[in-house]
Structure 1
Amino acid sequence: MYNGGLIITGIVVFLALAFFPFYYNIGKVNAKPEPKLEPAIKMSEKRFGKKQCVEPREFMRREHMVLLNNWRDSVVRDKNRRYSSEASGKTFNMSLQNECMQCHSSKKNFCDKCHTYMAVKPFCWDCHIEPKEKEGSKS
């Protein structure tokens, strides 16, 4: 084999560079993000008598995109704008901007924290107007 030493050295260098990110991150864990609950959530306390989302917290963490997709289909295809919560039985307006964003008003502190951590790029803001961040909102 001609120049076998150079070929083997090249392969070793290539493998070292290719696997460097894995070796570098062994044992390191990113902190799980905790979305901040804004003062706007207190509005739901006035409205319902307690902090309440359309469904329980664990359901919303797991299934919020399924719920929002179902809402979109129901509003666009069936012209149905009312959602009855299975957990509380209360009725909500099926609207990201006019219902969800009333309490979860900071995209940066609420939505982006988990979506960045999970490396997902939701397409909500392709159609909806992205909420403006208030001056002095902390990250």
Structure 2
Amino acid sequence: MYDGGKIIVGLIIGIGLLLSPFFYNAGKAVKAPEPELTPKAKEAKVCVAPTPYMRNNHMHLLDDWRQTVVRNGERYYKASTGKMYYKSLQVTCLDCHSNKSKFCDQCHNYIGMDPYCWDCHIVPKENK
């Protein structure tokens, strides 16, 4: 009358299909890469913002810099430490983080992100 057996089989198949991506990827997780710092970045020991913030929000910071420079003409950023930085990817950021393949590309490739920074900015030359 209610075909309880068919309903249970259907539920098991449905739950199996919903959980199959989790079973497929079980044990395949890879630790996020650690960007390789250049000697100049290691020597400086500080960035324009704390490392955890920069890992998660560097694009927000760069977008904000772009907006305030282009729209308001504000060229300097006051860090939480009180130090002033020139708002520029080319001049400020790439001064310490000049190795694009070992710094930028490692994390962006890991998350499958293709940043548009290099559509306008010059890709830094890397020392071999």
Instruction: Render the CA deviation track for 1:93-138: whole Å, top value 9, x for unaligned.
Output: 0000100001101010000111111111111100000001111xxx
Unmatched runs of 5 consecutive residues or more in structure 1 = 1-19, 45-50
Aligned length in residues: 109
Please give the residue correspondences for 1:1-139 in structure 2 after superposition, counting only pairs within 5 Å: 25-42=25-42, 44=44, 51-85=45-79, 87-135=80-128
Matched-pair identity in %: 50
* Structure 1 position 38, deviation (Å): 1.0
Q: 2:74 and 2:127 mapped to 1: Cα distance?
A: 32
Q: Is the 8 A contact 1:35 1:111 kept in 2?
A: yes
Q: Is the 8 A contact 1:43 1:103 kept in 2?
A: no
Give the structure-2-normalised TM-score.
Answer: 0.78
* Structure 1 position 22, deviation (Å): 7.2
| Superposition CA RMSD, Å | 1.8
Instruction: Render the CA deviation track for 1:32-66: whole Å, top value 9, x for unaligned.
Output: 1000111121453xxxxxx1100111111111100
Amino acid corresponding to residue 109 of structure 2 in structure 1: T
Give the structure-1-normalised TM-score.
Answer: 0.72
1:54 aligned counterpart, secondary structure: coil
Task: Find runs of 4+ consecutive structure 1 residues off by over 4 angstroms.
Answer: 20-24
1:109 aligned counterpart, secondary structure: coil
Quote the residue 1:11 is aligned against: none
